[in-house]
């Protein structure tokens, strides 16, 4: 009898969804789930209309505004005409094509990558896309989820498929036990620090090991969210009992009559013993320390106990030049202690860190304390209306407001500063988002990526501090 | 979509590593609901001073590389956001081809869909092309032969055959895929039996 080759989780999901092979390692792949937002979809709908094409499967789509929405004064007129045009276009397209649309004033509205899981729309084993690179978030459920461009959004709307090149398999194993004071964000940043921003290019990363298994579903979302920051289009975590418990009773979850069959399928997804990975990285999770980025790429990261590195300490000339440019942009000098960096603004939110556990993590640090006077503004932006309601039920909003923080409406907000939430040139931001790129949070803004607990502590102290001694 | 076969042009050297799509086109410029109008905001931090005036002699606006259809770029070009506005902006600036040591996956895919060829060559070859571009030499990119030539140097590059066909024919990918309509329907019928919970009732 022929021996069956052990398969990785990625290989299994790929094989399950292969409609047609198109030569070596290229396939027409079926897409089960599609999240649509206002920024990367208007041109796709225009394309459909121009070609007289229809949407193939309405039940595969949820549309929701998130990138551009204001996070305060929603009852007043939005002064940003261009934002309004995009928000109106999404609403009009949703109406024209009868999409499952969640409007801005609905309690379920929020960041696509927060509401997908929350609604049970994200499920193990599905293929899932969105015109947003942080779609990798949904890999936390063992879903093959990745970001696409607008032409691909149009392609999925019209055909329910994508022509894809098969990625290579990479496994990142995190051993040991995550120390107190560290969270999934620190794991993600520590991994990127090792792998680099291009280390996962052409690969799908499967995260494994005791530290990953011990993470909550929300922690796994934070981790998978940043896979793209390691260059990987998608991240995956094997579904387990935590996943199955999370899935129970959500609006789009399999119903009673189908639950058992779904569960059996989900249990079959994990990588087989002995499956081959093209690239393997192992990290000792017990050594992880709260992380802070100092430069303009997520790989420019050090422990909070560390110092800003000197450009000449990098091996390659292109990295040396990049580091020198980054230090100039960030207004930092080599050798400076991370804890000496003063913070002007704080942002807790984004598809990386805006779920209820992130809110609780920030609140635990903030409770009974006050924001430093030198911190101009500290925003707490929940990832969805439901996260907001839950936080308010737990009294977290009072903790934030009493401490001098602003409690806002859900949206992408200052992660990419498309709406009014931005930092001014030269300001240092302690941010729980995912990208510290030049100008990402406003022209000239200086972003430092951290966990919610570290952002909260920086807001209180007015500079970075090690949350473990806080 | 314009077909891509072979082009010869001077090239803009921009060898910085890890150029992300926020550098190519910052988020504040993404608010248009059309596919055009992004060139003016492209590479803002490289081209403009804080007061909005053009930085003199920047590689994109200076007279030196005016009319270049080829961009010679650094490693991991196009990392970050999936925004297709990045290749739209680059295309609108007149570029038909980008040569770099490597490209981020989503960006490279978005380029193909907009008729922009991404050529990956070893770092040493790209370094040589940067020097040639700075000297004002023309570079020829031949997709059919999968070669880049400049002065006396000739470099071969790998390219996915499916994508090569698409670029060379200037094809509409959706139209292509819809020829597999039956296969898609068959797949759905099978999937509906095996994993019915993925299909909403009614």
Q: What angle do CA B9, B13, B16 make, to 5 degrees?
A: 150
Which domains, ranges and CATH numbers included, belong to chain B? 6-171 (3.20.19.10)
- The CA distance from A275 to the nearest CA of chain B, in Å, is 24
Closest CA to B43 of B82, B16, B68, B76: B16
Beta strands in B1-110 (DSSP E): 6-9, 11-14, 70-73, 97-100
Q: Cβ A19–B26 below 8 Å, yes or no?
A: no
Closest-CA residue of A relative to B166 is A163
Note whether A78 contacts B: Cβ–Cβ < 8 A: no
Note whether B160 contacts A: Cβ–Cβ < 8 A: yes
The reported pLDDT for the residue numbered A283 is 98
Closest CA to A33 of A156, A136, A163: A156
For residues A396 and A387, give the distance between their C-alpha atoms in angstroms, rounded to a whole number: 11
Residues in A 346-365 with any Cβ partner in B closer than 8 A = none
> Given the DSSP bridges, would you call strands B6-9 and B147-150 parallel, antiparallel or unpaired?
unpaired
Note whether B37 contacts A: Cβ–Cβ < 8 A: no
Of B83, B87, B162, the CB nearest to A40: B83
Q: Which chain B residues are closer than 8 Å to A438 by Cβ?
A: 20, 22-23, 45
Note whether B33 contacts A: Cβ–Cβ < 8 A: yes
Average pLDDT over residues B142-166: 95
Note whether A319 contacts B: Cβ–Cβ < 8 A: yes
Q: Cβ B33–A86 below 8 Å, yes or no?
A: yes
The reported pLDDT for the residue numbered B171 is 83
- The CA distance from B26 to the nearest CA of chain A, in Å, is 7
Phi and psi at residue A326, to the nearest 5°: -65, -45
- Predicted confidence pLDDT, tens digits, chain A (470 residues): 566 899 999 999 999 999 999 888 899 999 999 999 999 999 999 999 988 999 999 999 999 999 999 999 999 999 998 899 999 999 999 999 999 999 999 999 999 999 999 999 999 999 999 999 999 999 999 999 999 999 999 999 999 999 999 999 999 999 999 999 999 999 999 999 999 999 999 999 999 999 999 999 999 999 999 999 999 999 999 999 999 999 999 999 999 899 999 999 999 999 999 999 999 999 999 999 999 999 999 999 999 999 999 999 998 888 898 999 999 999 999 999 999 999 999 999 999 999 999 999 999 999 999 999 999 999 999 999 999 999 999 999 999 999 999 999 999 999 999 999 999 999 999 999 999 999 999 999 999 999 999 999 999 999 999 999 98
Q: Which chain B residues are closer than 8 Å to A160 by Cβ?
A: 184, 188
- Cα end-to-end distance, chain B, whole Å: 39
Candidates A133, A149, A235: best to mutate against B (most CBs of B within 10 A) is: A149
Closest-CA residue of A relative to B24 is A438
The reported pLDDT for the residue numbered A305 is 98
Per-residue pLDDT at B202 exceeds 60: no
Residues in A 45-64 with any Cβ partner in B closer than 8 A = 46, 51, 53, 56, 59
User: For chain A, how big is the Rg over CA atoms in Å?
Assistant: 22
Please report which confidence band the pLDDT of residue B1 belongs to, taking 50, 70 and 90 as the band edges: confident
Reduced to 3 states (helix: H, G, I; strand: E, B; else coil), residue A376 is coil
Q: Cβ A147–B178 below 8 Å, yes or no?
A: no
Q: Which chain A residues are closer than 8 Å to B113 by Cβ?
A: 149, 151-152
Average pLDDT over residues B39-56: 94
Reduced to 3 states (helix: H, G, I; strand: E, B; else coil), residue B70 is strand
Of A151, A201, A265, the CB nearest to B102: A201
Calculate the alpha carbon distances from A89 to A43, A232, B155 in Å. Answer: 10, 31, 46
Candidates B24, B89, B101, B105: best to mutate against A (most CBs of A within 10 A) is: B105
Q: Cβ A297–B20 below 8 Å, yes or no?
A: yes
Would you say the C-alpha torsion A240, A246, A252, A254 has a positive or negative sign? positive
Q: Cβ A26–B173 below 8 Å, yes or no?
A: no
For residues A251 and B178, give the distance between their C-alpha atoms in angstroms, rounded to a whole number: 32
- Residue B51: Cβ within 10 Å count: 5
Q: Cβ B82–A198 below 8 Å, yes or no?
A: no
The reported pLDDT for the residue numbered A23 is 82
Contact indicator for B8, B139 with CB cutoff of 8 Å = yes
Note whether A373 contacts B: Cβ–Cβ < 8 A: no
Note whether B45 contacts A: Cβ–Cβ < 8 A: yes
Please report which confidence band the pLDDT of residue B126 belongs to, taking 50, 70 and 90 as the band edges: very high
Phi and psi at residue A382, to the nearest 5°: -65, 155
Per-residue pLDDT at B92 exceeds 60: yes
For residues A177 and A357, give the distance between their C-alpha atoms in angstroms, rounded to a whole number: 19
Neighbouring-strand partners of residue B13: B72
Note whether B55 contacts A: Cβ–Cβ < 8 A: no
Closest-CA residue of B relative to A149 is B84
Tokens (6 digits) for A402: 């009493």
The reported pLDDT for the residue numbered A2 is 61
> Given the DSSP bridges, would you call strands B147-150 and B153-156 parallel, antiparallel or unpaired?
antiparallel
The reported pLDDT for the residue numbered A1 is 55
Q: What is the ipTM of this complex?
A: 0.94
Average pLDDT over residues B31-50: 92
Phi and psi at residue A141, to the nearest 5°: -95, 0
Give the global pTM.
0.95
């Amino acid at each position: 009898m022929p021996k069956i080759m052990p398969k990785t989780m990625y290989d299994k999901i790929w094989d399950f969804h292969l409609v047609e092979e198109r030569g070596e390692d290229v396939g027409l792949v079926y897409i089960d789930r599609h999240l649509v937002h206002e920024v990367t979809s208007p041109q796709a709908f225009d394309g459909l209309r121009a070609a007289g094409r229809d949407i193939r499967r309405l039940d595969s789509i949820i549309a929701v505004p998130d990138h551009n929405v204001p996070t305060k004064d929603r009852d007043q007129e939005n002064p940003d005409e261009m934002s309004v045009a995009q928000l109106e276009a999404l609403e009009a397209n949703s109406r024209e094509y009868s999409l499952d649309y969640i409007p801005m004033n609905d309690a379920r509205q929020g960041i696509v990558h927060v509401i997908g899981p929350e609604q049970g729309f994200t499920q193990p084993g599905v293929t899932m896309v969105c015109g947003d690179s942080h779609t990798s978030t949904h890999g936390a459920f063992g879903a093959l989820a990745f970001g696409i461009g607008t032409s691909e959004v149009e392609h999925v709307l019209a055909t329910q498929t994508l022509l894809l090149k098969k990625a290579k398999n990479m496994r990142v194993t995190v051993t040991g036990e995550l120390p107190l004071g560290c969270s999934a964000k620190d794991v993600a940043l520590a991994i990127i620090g090792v792998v680099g921003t291009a280390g996962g290019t052409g690969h799908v990363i499967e995260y494994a090991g005791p530290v990953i298994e011990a993470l909550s579903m929300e922690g796994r979302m934070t981790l998978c969210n940043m896979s793209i920051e390691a260059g990987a289009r998608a991240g995956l975590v094997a579904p387990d009992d935590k996943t199955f418990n999370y899935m129970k009773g959500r609006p789009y979850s399999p119903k009673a009559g189908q639950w058992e069959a779904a569960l059996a399928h989900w249990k079959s997804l994990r990588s087989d013993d002995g499956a081959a990975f093209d690239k393997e990285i192992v990290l000792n999770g017990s050594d992880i320390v709260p992380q802070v980025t100092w430069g303009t790429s997520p790989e420019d990261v050090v422990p909070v106990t560390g110092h800003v590195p000197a450009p000449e300490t990098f091996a390659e000339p292109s990295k040396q030049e990049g580091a020198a440019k980054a230090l100039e942009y960030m207004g930092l000098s080599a050798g400076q202690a991370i804890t000496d960096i003063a913070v002007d603004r704080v942002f807790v939110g984004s598809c990386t860190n805006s779920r209820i556990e992130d809110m609780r993590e920030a609140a635990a640090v903030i409770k009974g304390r006050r924001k430093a006077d030198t911190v101009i503004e500290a925003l707490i932006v929940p990832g969805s209306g439901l996260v907001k309601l839950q936080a308010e039920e737990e009294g977290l909003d009072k903790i934030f407001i009493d401490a001098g923080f602003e409690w806002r409406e859900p949206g992408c907000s200052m992660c990419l500063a498309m709406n009014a939430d931005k930092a001014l040139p030269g300001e240092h931001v302690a941010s729980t988002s995912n990208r510290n790129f030049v100008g990402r949070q406003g022209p000239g803004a200086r972003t430092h990526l951290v966990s919610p607990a570290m952002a909260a502590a920086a807001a209180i102290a007015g500079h970075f501090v090690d949350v473990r001694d806080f | 979509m314009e077909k891509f076969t072979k082009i010869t042009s001077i090239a803009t050297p921009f060898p910085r590593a890890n150029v992300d799509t926020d550098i190519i086109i910052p988020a504040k410029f993404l608010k248009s609901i059309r596919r055009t109008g992004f060139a003016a905001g492209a590479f803002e931090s490289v081209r403009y001073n804080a007061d909005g005036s053009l930085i003199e002699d920047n590689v994109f606006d200076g007279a030196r590389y005016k009319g270049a259809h080829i961009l010679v770029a650094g490693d991991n070009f196009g990392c970050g956001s999936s925004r297709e506005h990045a290749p739209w902006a680059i295309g609108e600036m007149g570029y038909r081809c980008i040569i770099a040591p490597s490209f981020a996956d989503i960006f490279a895919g978005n380029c193909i869909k907009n008729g922009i060829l991404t050529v990956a060559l070893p770092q040493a070859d790209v370094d040589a092309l940067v020097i040639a571009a700075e000297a004002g030499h023309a570079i020829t990119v031949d997709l059919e032969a999968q070669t880049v030539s400049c002065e006396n140097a000739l470099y071969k590059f790998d390219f996915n055959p499916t994508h090569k066909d698409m670029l060379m024919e200037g094809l509409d990918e959706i139209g292509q895929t819809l020829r597999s309509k039956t296969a898609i329907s068959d797949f759905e019928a099978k999937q509906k039996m095996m994993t019915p919970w993925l299909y909403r009732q009614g």
